[in-house]
Structure 1
Amino acid sequence: MRSDPRPLLPLWAAILVAIAGGAILDLAFPDVGWWPLAFVGVGASLLTLIGRSAGGAFVVGFAFAASFYLIHIVWITRYLGVVPWFALAGIETLLSAIGAIAIALAYRWLPRLRGGTWARLVLLPALVAGLWTARELWLGAWPYTGFPWGRIGMSQAESPLAHVASWTGVTGLTFLMVFVVAAVGEIVRLRAWRAPVRMTPAALVLAALVLVPQFPTFDAGTIRVGAVQGNGPAGYFDTREPYAVLQSQLDATAQLSGQDLDVLLWPEGGIDADPTRNASVARVLDRLSGEFDAPLIVNAATERGDQTFNTSMLWHVGEHNPVAIHDKSHPVPMGEYVPDRWFFEMLAPDLIGLIQREYTPGTNPPFFDVDGVGVGLAICFDVIYDDVIWSGARDGAEVYMFQTNNADFRDTDENLQQLAFARMRAIETGRAVVNLSTVGTSQVIAPDGSTVESLAAGVPGAMITDVPLRTGLTPAVIIGPAVQALLGWGIVLAFGVTGVFAIRRARSSAQG
């Protein structure tokens, strides 16, 4: 048995397979959403990495990631053109290609240390899956706040595997999926089907993915939510008159007149003026809260001192308003602020000059107490950051209300991709989610991920929904940080140790 495998494909063929694999992986995400293709895409990538040198792994890893990201985030070009698209896809591709080198080295190093069949069928797939997962965590945290948009686990929002996320989190789901693919690859390479018992580890993991039910949370009643999608001119580059977005929200809210509500929810950017500084807007919110005799959860850009924040506010007539605030935890680099502006202005002054806002990251918790009901929050892209979601649950959230503004990405896949992430968060935490967009698609999602009610994109509308409340923390929320530490730093350490001993053994063999 060779400890150093030869490439399964010549480099030119591997590049073609990698490009096809990246495109196939994108099909697993909305708007197509053929979730089984995630396994095919991952398999194509691993096939091209087995036996590769570091340089070859970088090349095929680059081809795979470029194909995936250039398709997956093409919605960035909706207003900003090709430069930001190539820039973001480029950095994600470069980092992914570097991570591909580690996966290729795992295929080379581990069999030198443990060349037996069981090591090949268990330890090697675990190391490969861990390195893939660690790469996802790396991309989701760096540079700046990272961009965890292409995580394999997030592709499963409509699949029967999604329930596993309530036990392991999305990170653990990615690991298990890649483990199955890598194990099947080793079964084929070793022809292990001749001894069916050797397929047991992969079969057990696959059975767990399919058969493990969602972790149960506990019924805590309902909250009656009025959610309003104004469909106003809320895009960054939309032409509008002052207060036009606010007026569109008020017009759509009129549909709810006379209804009994526990809370009225507006989307991100539903107010185009700072109500903490604009007395007339504050009076409008007071009147609206008084009309429904209910608190409001609204959002606007706010200023405190010389800093600007993307702020969700709890507003209640008769109180010192806002009653509570939550500032967006992870403003989007190059969208909501420009890090190291001096540097990027030298590279693309005209493009960087378009981004005038400079939001400051918030430090207050993503949680409101709404008349005794715990409400977890995430503002727009914060839905993709695990720490925001888990923080809300640990603080006592019984329901989530996600406010977003997709106006800059109208008629693209971004809207549906983000909605799928919200669905995964409902399943992961065992809590209902009201995912409300300025322009749609907006949905109320049950704790099991099913759709309770929705509003179509591109039209004003309102929903009144008795949204279920849940208590009890899922294992994903409790052990999620530990899972990430194990599959991040733990795997990197294991990879490093494997490399040291594999290289020593190779040198000893050469000297012998």
Structure 2
Amino acid sequence: MRPPVLVAAALAVGSGAVLVAAFPERSWWFAAPLGVAGLHLALRGRSARGGFGVAALAGTTFWLLQLSWLTTYLGPVPWLALATAQTLYVAVAGAATAALLRAADRTWAPIGRIAFVPLTAAGIWTGREMVAGSWPYGGFGWGRVAASQVDGPFAELLAWLGPGGTTFAVVWLAVFAVELACAPALGRVPAAALVAGAALAVSAVPSWKPTDVGELRVAAVQGGVDASLFSEAEPGDILQAHERATEGAGPVDLMIWPENASDLDPLASPDATARLDRVAREAPLLVGTITGRAGDLVNTSLLWEPGIGATDWYDKVRLVPFGEYVPDRAFWRQVAPDLIDLISRDYAPGVEDNVFGVAGTRIGVGICFDVVDDGLVRDMVADGAALIVYQSNNADFGRTEQSAQQLGIARMRAIETGRTVVNVSTVGTTAIIRADGTVTGSLPTWTSGALVDTVRLHDGITPAVALGERIGAGAAMLGVAGLVLSVFGAVGRRRGSEER
């Protein structure tokens, strides 16, 4: 089945739009396999060049809609640039998938094609997500199919297969359904039964049961104040807002403030030091701030105790390119000088471990964009973290879906690691997430308050953490190997027929 060009184009655009609906705030998990299936159908019968164009339509639609929050303060240029870059990955993967499908027509018998093509196409998709999430400049691990599944029947896969394996399984199921539906040898009823059986098999994975090792009473504090790049707040205003939001939090074991909660460096400002000391009298305080050390500017999370000050710290490792630093500044300044000059000084990446010891408990800490880094979350668990905290400042994105999308990734991390996650933000979404991905409590965005709860601490290593990137890398290698095998097989058959 080869859709006409205009039908394929419409399918591609529609598939990109449907895939967006799988992510927060809509969170229609079933839209992900539907979007993947629509794009796969649009690619059938196309050349590699045609597949590039069709997939580019789907990618452009998806990324422009998914990243619309970038325009809030920075305008259209960063939005269009990032969407274009991500679309190129989708287009290349589309070209590879189209080449696979065309080669499979010559290489595989119908039953072999049904078995082989879904595995290879899912591997190509997974490989595309891996590359886009790591290159260039550390990549952009946003919009992964796995992150859309936290509310669906495939969520349990995250603890067993991690993000890469979960993406592979969902894409495989979608492509399997399309290939079955287009198989001339099968009727509609047998094909539907096979798809239903495959879906049940994928969703039948048992839930991971982490070991319960205790509890910790925490207060996640949200200042509800504009801490954005263009904030008009006076120095100390953001710190004061979080002081006020902490009042009345009650007795807790740990208070958690978000990224940039102290807009005065407590390592350099006596005023900030005294104010954090007062807050920390009630309990140890985990606070985000910007510090200057050894001539470097760093985005820091400090563990603060009264009378002692900072007893431990973590400097953000996964810095946002073109947000916290400018790679290849001289080149990019020629392209967009006004935007590049907004980032007058680059932050330095951290080198410390990302686990703190608080009241006898090991706590993993990530700052904002760290949440997309698979390696950092595995490091936390390997270092004994029984609880994970993500501190963020989402004020730069206003009242858009960005914070909800980020919360979705944090929920994915909870299931993947089998850990409770506390997600705390200057303006939202501040939430407490159980190890099964369930949100047990949250604060409304752009409000001031403290979310107080007793959270469970967990031990144990999920298969996803134990196997790490080997799952996704294996799936990607399967995609490459399958593509190469199909193309060479098709070439060999063509040469054989020509010789005869």
Q: Aligned AA for 2:203? A: V
Q: Secondary structure at the match of 1:71?
A: helix
* CA RMSD in angstroms, aligned pairs only: 1.8
- Residues 192 and 297 (structure 1), Cα distance of their counterparts in 2 relative to 1, 3 Å cut: farther
Q: Secondary structure at the match of 2:50?
A: helix
Q: Secondary structure at the match of 1:30?
A: coil
d(CA) in 2 for partners of 1:72, 1:510: 48
Aligned to 1:152: 145
d(CA) in 2 for partners of 1:499, 1:286: 66
Q: Aligned AA for 1:75? A: W
Q: Secondary structure at the match of 1:241?
A: coil
1:102 maps onto 2:96 in alignment: yes
- Residues 192 and 277 (structure 1), Cα distance of their counterparts in 2 relative to 1, 3 Å cut: farther
> Do 2:432 and 2:440's aligned partners in 1 also have CA atoms closer than 8 Å?
yes
For 1:123-142, what aligned pairs fall within 5 Å after superposition? 123-142=116-135
- Residues 495 and 469 (structure 1), Cα distance of their counterparts in 2 relative to 1, 3 Å cut: same
For 1:50-69, what aligned pairs fall within 5 Å after superposition? 50-69=44-63
Aligned to 1:122: 115
Q: Aligned AA for 2:11? A: V
Aligned to 1:309: 298
Displacement of 1:191 after TM fit?
Answer: 4.1
Q: Secondary structure at the match of 2:325?
A: coil
> Do 1:328 and 1:379's aligned partners in 2 also have CA atoms closer than 8 Å?
yes
1:297 maps onto 2:286 in alignment: yes
1:277 maps onto 2:271 in alignment: no
d(CA) in 1 for partners of 2:477, 2:365: 29
- Residues 423 and 108 (structure 1), Cα distance of their counterparts in 2 relative to 1, 3 Å cut: same
Encode CA deviations 1:1-54: one digit per residue, 9 max, x unaligned. Answer: xxxxxx611222211111111011101111122111111111111011111111
1:83 maps onto 2:90 in alignment: no
Displacement of 1:119 after TM fit?
Answer: 1.7
Displacement of 1:62 after TM fit?
Answer: 0.5
Aligned to 1:456: 444
d(CA) in 2 for partners of 1:126, 1:441: 37
Aligned to 2:13: 19
d(CA) in 1 for partners of 2:183, 2:386: 49
d(CA) in 2 for partners of 1:161, 1:470: 22
d(CA) in 2 for partners of 1:386, 1:203: 31
> Do 1:313 and 1:324's aligned partners in 2 also have CA atoms closer than 8 Å?
yes
> Do 2:24 and 2:405's aligned partners in 1 also have CA atoms closer than 8 Å?
yes
1:46 maps onto 2:37 in alignment: no
> Do 2:11 and 2:38's aligned partners in 1 also have CA atoms closer than 8 Å?
yes
Aligned to 2:200: 207
Q: Secondary structure at the match of 1:190?
A: coil
Q: Aligned AA for 1:263? A: L
d(CA) in 2 for partners of 1:447, 1:149: 21
d(CA) in 2 for partners of 1:472, 1:287: 36
> Do 1:434 and 1:445's aligned partners in 2 also have CA atoms closer than 8 Å?
yes
> Do 1:245 and 1:272's aligned partners in 2 also have CA atoms closer than 8 Å?
yes
> Do 1:192 and 1:198's aligned partners in 2 also have CA atoms closer than 8 Å?
no
d(CA) in 1 for partners of 2:330, 2:121: 40
Q: Which runs of 5+ in 2 are unaligned?
A: none
> Do 2:181 and 2:191's aligned partners in 1 also have CA atoms closer than 8 Å?
no
Q: Aligned AA for 2:237? A: A
d(CA) in 2 for partners of 1:509, 1:439: 66
d(CA) in 2 for partners of 1:445, 1:377: 15
Q: Aligned AA for 1:262? A: D
Match of 1:406 among 381, 384, 394: 394
d(CA) in 1 for partners of 2:348, 2:478: 32
> Do 1:379 and 1:404's aligned partners in 2 also have CA atoms closer than 8 Å?
yes
Displacement of 1:500 after TM fit?
Answer: 3.1
Displacement of 1:363 after TM fit?
Answer: 2.3
> Do 1:180 and 1:205's aligned partners in 2 also have CA atoms closer than 8 Å?
yes
Aligned to 1:3: none
Encode CA deviations 1:286-339: one digit per residue, 9 max, x unaligned. Answer: 2322x21x21111111222232211111122244x4222111121111111111
> Do 2:39 and 2:55's aligned partners in 1 also have CA atoms closer than 8 Å?
yes
Displacement of 1:123 after TM fit?
Answer: 1.4
Q: With structure 1 as the length reference, what TM-score do the two structures score?
A: 0.94
Q: Which runs of 5+ in 1 are unaligned?
A: 1-6
- Residues 278 and 496 (structure 1), Cα distance of their counterparts in 2 relative to 1, 3 Å cut: farther
Aligned residues: 500
Displacement of 1:117 after TM fit?
Answer: 3.4
- Residues 205 and 390 (structure 1), Cα distance of their counterparts in 2 relative to 1, 3 Å cut: farther
Encode CA deviations 1:135-172: one digit per residue, 9 max, x unaligned. Answer: 11111111211111111111112212211111101111
Aligned to 1:428: 416
Displacement of 1:482 after TM fit?
Answer: 1.1
After the TM superposition, which of the residue ranges 103-112 and 345-354 deviates more from structure 2?
Answer: 103-112
> Do 2:228 and 2:396's aligned partners in 1 also have CA atoms closer than 8 Å?
yes
Aligned to 2:3: 9
Aligned to 1:225: 218
Q: Secondary structure at the match of 1:234?
A: coil
d(CA) in 2 for partners of 1:47, 1:195: 17
